[in-house]
Structure 1
Amino acid sequence: MSTQRRALLGAGLAAATLPFLGRAEAAAPFIGRGAPAWYRFRFGEYEATIVSDGALPLGKAEDSFVGAAPGEVNAMMRAAMLDPSNALLEQNALVLNTGRHLILFDTGMGDSMGPASQMFGPTTGRLLRNLRQAGIDPAQIDLVVVSHGHCDHCWALVDANGNRNFPNAQVAISEADLNYWTNDANIRGPAFMEPFIRGAQKNLNAYRDRMVMLRDGQEVVPGVTAISAPGHTVGHTIFAVSSGPRVMVYTGDLAHHHVLLLRRPLLEFAFDTDPKQSAQTRARLLDRFATDLPLVMSYHFPWPGLGHVVKEGQGYAWLQAPMDVTSLG
């Protein structure tokens, strides 16, 4: 046993012998529930609320993040005090109130596809509940911006019966992604492709009469600009939110992991439509973020997904922004 471990155990045993001076009472019961997962802050003239859809466990990190030398992914995870046997991603959706529009960026997993909605486990699909806990009625949303057509980004557009969860909203998505993920001809390759396409068809087709096609470099609404970032999907899009001199970039699935894909941007991700294009897009945009230093809001980084990308060695590092105690939570 190491000297440090013996010292720690010794301190613990010594503490255990201290007498408890209060009255003997029954232990307090476990409460069994946590706080609603939402965080609100001002961004320039806007009000922003980050709402969680819950944790998304991928399983073994080396199964999802590929292209490294044997053992390298596990070593990077352990060095960051993370469990390589379960790469756990957050799901952080952004709600932006510009004063003119109430915009939801991505919807989370939802329950529209029944058992398939829990293909990543039962901890997902919590966005609608947390949205209401944050004081936002889904009927107030007038625009849902979908970064791409994957299950954890659009499957909560409708409920299990196919009814719209956002009855007054338009849906903005790239035409390339809309066409790809609603096309039966793309049911090929990995086993996940069929449920992904069936889920996209059910959710996206329910809003066909109110679709807005995203265009690279064009404003979706005043203050929100679409930026094409293909590779993860054919039409994957990220968004720059501007208010006065301040800029925040909502990055969707540009990078799924705050350690693996920042330190090694050219690693490939198992759910990418075009892994090599995705890696090149990621490397290019991370370099831009590390140069311009916008506030970055990532869908899958540790809660609440706000921070900055900075250069570190041959790659990048994630500097999580502090949660402001003066925020509007």
Structure 2
Amino acid sequence: MNHSIRNLLKKIPLSIIGAVALTGPVGAWAQDTVATTSAHKAQAPGFFRFKLGEMNITALYDGVATLPASFFKGIRPEDVENNWKNTHDYTPRGIEDSVNAYLIDTGTQLIMVDAGGSQCFPAMGELKDNLRQAGYAPSDVDAILITHFHPDHGCGISDAQGNALYNNATVYVDEKEAAYWLSAEQTAKAPKEMQGIFLMEQKAVAPYKASQRLKTFKAGATLFPGVKSIAAYGHTPGHTVYQFDSEGQTAVFWGDLVHSNQMQLNNPKIAFEYDFDQKQAIATREHILAQAAKNNWLIGGAHIPFPGLGYVRTMGTGYDWNAVKYQSTVK
């Protein structure tokens, strides 16, 4: 279109454009402009696809968790803040950490790793809409593998009324994790400020337990062909990462092994506020990071900036994060 015509149209109030039946290229352009103005402010849907072997992986965004600098242990809070400021990640409230889950189409099953925080946190709960935007319904999901029962990972399996959101899915979790968080005795023994976390998770799990769709497993169990669990204890008593193998390639979804790639990859000895056993969590992180770098695993990180997919490589005494690039998933 001629630039002078474009400039003229920009000066005409939209109410006039809407009242005049414009035709031809000028009319089509004007009507298209009016129709799409509001869409220009909307973010893209929170899903990202990546193909590994025969697996189709869809990263799903659920929202954010805000972490203050004081949550990172073994480092001065001012050093945490300076690090985040240098990487443009800092806000006055702390770092806004992505909350990610992953849907893996293995060719025979649709398996989700973690389910976000749903109604338990006001800054989360976008996963179900993003699942639909990605072309799936909750009823399509066959299995949900929970890395651990902190509510930003497990609360999203049910709604605020305690109804199951994934009516055809079976929930899988390490037996030690279930024994701890679903125990009335452990709930009563927990500090008062932690008891709410126990109750949130028990409410979310209840409909699956009632319908016998909650299954526990021992560490290292193979859950499905090409899918096995890896004990990653420390952050919680039964924290688990999940390994998916396809055509000689491996994807590992590591839950809360890392809460900040800037901090804990550079220095894996930095612990986190909610680590159940900080010493064990550090040892677990060091071991799995070494394996990930050595074996070139694709990583799905629950709190790595969305989509949280990438590779770990050694860098000095620590590690570096290489995020995956956008790619076509259509052959």
- Shorter-chain TM-score category? 0.7 to 0.9
For the residue of structure 2 that corresponds to 1:278, the secondary structure is: helix
Deviation, structure 1 residue 80: 2.3
- Following the alignment from structure 1 to structure 2, what is the Cα–Cα distance between the partners of residues 99 and 161? 33
Q: Superposition RMSD on alpha carbons, in Å? A: 2.1
Q: Deviations over 1:78-123 (max 9, x none)?
A: 2323216321111121111112111111110112xxxxx22xxx33
User: What pairs with 1:81-92 in structure 2 (closer than 5 Å)?
Assistant: 81-83=88-90, 85=92, 86-92=94-100
In structure 1, the gaps of 5 or more residues are 1-20, 112-116
Aligned partner of 1:302 in structure 2 is: 305
Aligned partner of 1:193 in structure 2 is: 194
2:78 pairs with 1:71: yes
Q: Is the 8 A contact 2:115 2:156 kept in 1?
A: yes
TM-score (norm 2): 0.84
For the residue of structure 2 that corresponds to 1:263, the secondary structure is: coil
- Following the alignment from structure 2 to structure 1, what is the Cα–Cα distance between the partners of residues 124 and 91? 20
- Following the alignment from structure 1 to structure 2, what is the Cα–Cα distance between the partners of residues 200 and 279? 25
- Following the alignment from structure 2 to structure 1, what is the Cα–Cα distance between the partners of residues 241 and 71? 22
Flag the structure with larger Rg: 2
Q: Is the 8 A contact 2:155 2:201 kept in 1?
A: yes
Count of residue pairs brought into register by the alignment: 299
Aligned partner of 1:145 in structure 2 is: 145
Deviation, structure 1 residue 266: 0.8
User: What pairs with 1:1-329 in structure 2 (closer than 5 Å)?
Assistant: 22-23=7-8, 24-25=10-11, 31=39, 32-58=41-67, 60=68, 62-69=69-76, 71-83=78-90, 85=92, 86-111=94-119, 117-118=120-121, 122-187=122-187, 192-208=193-209, 209-324=212-327, 326-327=328-329
Q: Deviations over 1:195-238 (max 9, x none)?
A: 21001111123212122223322211111110000011000000
In structure 2, the gaps of 5 or more residues are 1-5, 15-33
For the residue of structure 2 that corresponds to 1:204, the secondary structure is: helix
Identity within the alignment, %: 32
Against the structure 1 CA distance between its residues 76 and 191, is the aligned structure 2 distance closer, same or farther, given a 3 Å change threshold? farther
In structure 1, give the amino acid aligned to 2:160. Answer: A
For the residue of structure 2 that corresponds to 1:207, the secondary structure is: helix
For the residue of structure 1 that corresponds to 2:157, the secondary structure is: coil
In structure 2, give the amino acid aligned to 1:205. Answer: A
For the residue of structure 1 that corresponds to 2:285, the secondary structure is: helix
Deviation, structure 1 residue 262: 0.7
In structure 2, give the amino acid aligned to 1:106. Answer: D
Q: Is the 8 A contact 1:171 1:207 kept in 2?
A: yes
In structure 1, give the amino acid aligned to 2:66. Answer: P
TM-score (norm 1): 0.85
More off after superposition, 30-39 vs 300-309: 30-39
